Chain A
């Protein structure tokens, strides 16, 4: 079946511009995560949704970062007034709900590489 998809795959923004990154999780997956991966580093957690509820946003680095998942499916990560330090790959992952408990295995999309000039 279809995996997690993300768009755009590449985004170049001028410093100060706003950007929106989209994630389409695997159909039926309840949980959705966003991670930020700097060059040469492991992914770092940004935020987590269970259906449409944003249950954890402790990893968002500043109030310029905002995420939503209004209908419990597609999610958008928005970065306002981008800065050079926002340059990174933004990964989305989704996780199914099995046996009444959330599965801990996360399935990742290909990521969006954001470059801020």
Chain B
């Protein structure tokens, strides 16, 4: 079964500092990978997705992620954190099944705190 591991349940950065949230995947074949963000009392919102078109994926709000097959990683980064980035971030994986639906397996989440 496919899975993702997020290292660090809580990450704290200063405003303007680099944001790095880590995600490693476990899959026998290159999967589809995603980062979602959840603000308090809201549902999840897609930040970006990797579907093999390019290893460096740019998303919304200045976030990007790089797919590294050799490291089985898909870490999320943002050059300069903003207070509004404080939220919980989830890495997710889905099977590359043709017509297989939208079953996502999520990581345990990383709570990002941004300090002044």
Do A and B belong to a common assembly?
A: no
A contacts, CB < 8 Å to B: none
B contacts, CB < 8 Å to A: none
